[in-house]
């Protein structure tokens, strides 16, 4: 085992192919259904929204998908990302566990999201597309697609959930610095936005509404397409560069993980870290513990239902079988904005259903407490979302201390918190509160799941 703290790969060791878990699943994913017919969608149904190459990646069962050279060339700006051994955190916890983290905060926008934004922008440009539309909640995805758009010469329109648009002016400024247009959602620009505003002019918006707006605009024009920052198979595929690099770095460290941990909003950074390890386990008949960590305020995996549901509030999207709180679920205003989506990636949901991962939920105060300890020991201030993974890693390390066992923990530190300092300010001021739904409030949105869910 190395005594290095920072385990860095040479610059030329960026993976040459993404890893596709669909090649190794013990049972295939449930088909995506057309909301009108209830029949499985074909490539033609998705091509109004996504270029053919991404539709093909959504469905392929090939184990490896080659990363195009222009995409690798952009990845080189920040990849390979470092893997750290959290020695000071281990000391502070007095744990015999060895804790490692993969740090995705070194990207231009400060999170893992450019890993897919760059790939999506590339394939759209190859297909002759001029403009991309998307939604953003906390602003991370909007910034990442704006960055990717400027790299490949595409216009980008971002529908930003109104509450974040107001709370996070610096995220909007960053999108504009990259040349994107950022619109508060719901907006007057779309039918979906106007409908919601007519019912509730004061609404602060939601991710589901912003998706409806972005999809509506893209569906109406041939030279405009839509980009999604999480949930879909091709997004998770692109994120596997995280885990592929981490496997090599763990080997360099002379160690191998017993527990893998990631926070889950739509599931992409979590999947990016764990899927390459899980694929290897499935092929070799081994088993590494895998923990998906979510907020108690948006408990998609721990309390949602595994059922067919829409991806958006306006019901423009196809039906996906996933863990969901219902497309009309409106999460409370917790600060981990990236973890406030009603659904979970179909791949992650399927793995949970097969019993291949454990899901845990934590309250936001204990997550901030963990994030502050991490900042004071490791020096990086994590994004509020990432604090959930930090919390779970610390809980595991504390268990190792109590049991006197020496497990190896690897978690994904998916982003830094430099744009989220208001959240830390609120935490230090004591104005953050924990939030947990009672069964009745969860049932309201679940009762509105589409009919096919019963089948
Ligand atoms: C967007 C985001 C998330 C949540 O999305 P996933 O698809 O679940 O990864 C988590 N952390 C950060 C830093 C994000 O920007």
Residue 33 lies in a domain: no
Residue 101 lies in a domain: yes
Residue 256 lies in a domain: yes
Check residue 116 and give its pLDDT.
Answer: 98
Residue 323 lies in a domain: yes
Residue 48 lies in a domain: no
Partner residues linked to 63 by β-bridges: none
Nearest-CA residue for ligand 1 atom 15 is 140
Which residue ranges of the chain lie beneath pLDDT 70? 333-334, 336, 453-455
Residue 178 lies in a domain: no
Tell me the CA–centroid distance for residue 229 and ligand 1, in Å: 9
Q: Are 97 and 397 spatial neighbours (Cβ–Cβ below 8 Å)?
A: yes
For residue 93, the domain's CATH number is 3.40.50.1100
Range of the domain at 279: 6-14+68-110+234-454
| Pocket probe mutation, ligand 1, options 161, 267, 338, 339, max atoms within 8 Å of Cβ | 338
Tell me the CA–centroid distance for residue 165 and ligand 1, in Å: 18
Closest among 121, 114, 106, 329 to 207, alpha carbons compared? 329
Distances (CA, A) of 197 to 139, 193, 326: 22, 6, 21
Relative to the CA of 383, which ligand 1 atom is closest? 13
Model pTM?
0.97
Q: Are 395 and 401 spatial neighbours (Cβ–Cβ below 8 Å)?
A: no
Residue 391 lies in a domain: yes
Residue with tokens 């863990």: 323
Check residue 454 and give its pLDDT.
Answer: 43
Check residue 334 and give its pLDDT.
Answer: 65
Give the phi and the psi of residue 343 in degrees, each rounded to 5: -115, 175
Relative to the CA of 144, which ligand 1 atom is closest? 15
Residue 105 lies in a domain: yes
Distance CA 407, CA 228 (A): 36
| Pocket probe mutation, ligand 1, options 263, 294, 341, 352, max atoms within 8 Å of Cβ | 263
Tell me the CA–centroid distance for residue 397 and ligand 1, in Å: 23
Domain count along the chain: 1
Partner residues linked to 46 by β-bridges: none
Relative to the CA of 105, which ligand 1 atom is closest? 13
Report DSSP state, residue 188: T
Closest among 388, 343, 386, 380 to 364, alpha carbons compared? 388
């Amino acid at each position: 085992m190395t005594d290095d703290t920072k385990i860095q790969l040479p610059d030329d060791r960026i993976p040459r192919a993404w890893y596709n878990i669909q090649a190794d699943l013990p049972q295939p994913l449930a088909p995506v259904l057309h909301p009108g017919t209830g029949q499985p969608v074909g490539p033609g149904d998705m091509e109004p929204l996504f270029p053919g190459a991404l539709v093909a990646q959504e469905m392929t069962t090939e184990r490896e998908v080659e990363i195009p050279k222009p995409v690798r060339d952009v990845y080189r700006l920040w990849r390979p990302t470092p893997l750290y051994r959290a020695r000071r955190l281990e000391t502070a916890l007095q744990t015999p566990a060895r804790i490692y983290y993969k740090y995705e905060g070194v990207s231009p926008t400060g999170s893992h999201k450019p890993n897919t934004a760059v790939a999506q922008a590339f394939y759209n440009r190859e297909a002759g597309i001029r403009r991309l539309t998307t939604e953003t909640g906390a602003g991370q995805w909007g910034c990442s697609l704006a960055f990717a758009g400027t790299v490949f010469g595409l216009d980008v329109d971002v529908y930003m959930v109104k509450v974040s648009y107001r709370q996070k002016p610096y995220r909007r400024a960053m999108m504009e610095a990259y040349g994107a247009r950022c619109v508060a959602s719901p907006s007057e620009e779309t039918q979906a936005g106007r409908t919601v505003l007519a019912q509730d002019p004061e609404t602060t918006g939601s991710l589901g509404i912003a998706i409806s707006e972005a999809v509506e605009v893209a569906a109406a024009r041939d030279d405009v397409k839509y980009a999604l920052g999480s949930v879909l198979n091709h997004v998770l595929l692109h994120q596997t560069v995280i885990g592929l690099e981490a496997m090599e770095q763990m080997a360099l460290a002379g160690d191998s993980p017993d527990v893998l941990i990631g926070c889950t909003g739509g599931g992409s950074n979590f999947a990016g870290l764990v899927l390459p390890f899980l694929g290897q386990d499935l092929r070799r008949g081994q088993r590494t513990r895998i923990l998906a960590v979510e907020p108690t305020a948006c408990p998609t995996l721990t309390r949602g239902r595994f059922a067919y549901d829409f991806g958006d509030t306006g019901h423009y999207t196809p039906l996906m079988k996933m863990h969901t709180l219902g497309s009309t679920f409106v999460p409370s205003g917790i600060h981990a904005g990236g973890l406030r989506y009603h659904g979970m990636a179909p791949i992650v949901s399927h793995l949970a259903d097969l019993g291949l991962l454990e899901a845990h939920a934590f309250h936001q105060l204990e997550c901030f407490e963990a994030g502050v300890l991490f900042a004071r020991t490791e020096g990086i201030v994590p994004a509020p979302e990432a604090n959930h993974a930090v919390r779970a890693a610390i809980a595991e390390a504390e268990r190792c201390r109590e049991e006197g066992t020496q497990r190896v923990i690897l978690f994904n530190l998916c982003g830094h918190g430099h744009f989220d300092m208001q959240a830390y300010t609120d935490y230090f001021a004591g104005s953050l509160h924990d939030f947990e739904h009672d069964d009745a409030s969860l049932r309201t949105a679940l009762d509105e799941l589409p009919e096919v869910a019963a089948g």
